[in-house]
């Protein structure tokens, strides 16, 4: 299967998905999110694959939501948000364990992508931030719920309202990531981790994941509906469209 924005390969019993829009800093366009989901589904249905690794090319794991896509489709933003919501929910329902191997910058929606993975290996150069508020956006989909559950209200609000970045060491200390790995060893360590998972009976690994999801998903999905409602109100407003137009002109 061919993709426009990700590269896939398999190693032993492990499927690798590499984000590959480096010229756009791996910005998460709607098509890219759908590519990620399609690739995850393909590995999920491949009997030879036991775990899936999501990693990236370039200096950014991902710069977050693709603002250019939104600025070019101001009359269709609600539809784009619905497609992105469907993609994130589909990702959260993957049966097999997902491992994120994240390096460089992960912004906004990219953090939600990380937190939809079961294990997050952070390179020692990882930097997390949520600049959405400075762009006039209330983060939609499930980012707010994921952050709140992971790091609590105080840190979440500081990241949201002040745009404060969180480096790998702090992210590890507050449980946002699983552990820190030297950059040069990141993908090899992700492979080792996935191979360890493959030693667990597949039915057990899937059952463990499904059990944890049973605690989270009803709350997660209702939180997504609430966040999406507020996001749609904002992106449909004239204030937001004017702000986005100015932002696009200033960053052309």
Mean pLDDT to the nearest integer, 173-200: 96
Q: What are phi and psi of 145, to 5 degrees?
A: -65, -40
How far apart, in whole angstroms, are the C-alpha atoms of residue 176 and residue 193? 18
Residue written as tokens 């986005």? 244
The tokens describing 118, both together, are 């079961």
Complete edge-to-edge strand list for the sheet that includes strand 166-167: 60-62, 105-107, 127-129, 166-167
Segments making up each domain of the chain, as ranges: 6-250
| 93-107 burial code (b ≥16 CB/10 A, e <16) | bbbbbbbbbbbbbbb
What would the mean pLDDT of 197-224 be, rounded to a whole number?
A: 77
Mean pLDDT of 30-53: 97
Q: At what angle do helices 143-162 and 202-235 cross, to 10 degrees?
A: 50
CA atoms in the 13 A half-sphere facing the CB of 13: 17
Q: Is the pLDDT of residue 227 over 70?
A: no
Give the architecture (CATH level 2) of 6-250. Alpha-Beta Complex (3.90)
Strand arrangement, sheet containing 6-11: 6-11, 14-19, 51-56, 98-102, 119-123, 179-181
For tokens 């052309």, name the residue: 252
- Average of per-residue pLDDT across 93-116: 95
Are the C-beta atoms of residues 224 and 88 closer than 8 Å to each other?
A: yes
Residue 219 pLDDT > 60, yes or no?
no
* 61 has a pLDDT exceeding 70: yes
pLDDT value at residue 226: 62
Q: Tokens 């745009």 sit at which residue?
A: 163
165: left (phi over 0), alpha (psi -120 to 50) or beta: beta
Torsion over CA: 183, 184, 186, 189 (sign) = negative
- Which tokens in the block code for residue 113? 């992508």
Between CA 235 and CA 232 the distance in angstroms is 5
> What are the tens digits of pLDDT across the range 123-170?
999 999 998 777 777 776 678 888 888 899 999 999 999 989 999 999
């Amino acid at each position: 299967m061919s993709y426009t924005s990700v590269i896939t390969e398999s190693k032993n019993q492990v499927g690798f998905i590499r984000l590959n829009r480096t010229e756009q800093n791996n910005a998460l366009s709607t098509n890219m999110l759908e590519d990620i989901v399609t690739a995850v589904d393909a590995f999920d249905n491949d009997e030879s694959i036991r775990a899936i690794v999501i990693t990236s090319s370039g200096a950014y794991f991902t710069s977050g939501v693709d603002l250019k896509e939104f600025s070019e489709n101001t009359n269709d933003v609600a539809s784009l948000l619905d497609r992105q919501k469907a993609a994130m929910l589909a990702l959260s329902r993957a049966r097999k364990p997902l491992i994120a191997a994240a390096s460089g910058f992960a912004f906004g929606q990219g953090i939600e992508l990380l937190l939809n993975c079961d294990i997050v290996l952070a390179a020692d150069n990882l930097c997390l931030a949520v600049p959405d508020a400075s762009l006039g956006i209330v983060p939609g989909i499930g980012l707010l719920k994921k952050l709140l559950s992971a790091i609590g209200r105080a840190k979440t609000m500081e990241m949201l309202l002040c745009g404060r970045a969180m480096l790998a060491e702090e992210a590890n200390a507050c449980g946002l990531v699983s552990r820190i790995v030297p950059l040069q060893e990141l993908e090899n360590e992700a492979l080792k981790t996935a191979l360890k998972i493959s030693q667990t009976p597949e039915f057990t690994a899937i059952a463990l994941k499904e059990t944890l999801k049973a605690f989270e998903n009803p709350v997660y999905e209702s939180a997504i509906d609430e966040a999406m409602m507020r996001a749609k109100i904002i992106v449909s407003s004239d204030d937001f469209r004017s702000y986005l137009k100015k932002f696009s002109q200033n960053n052309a």
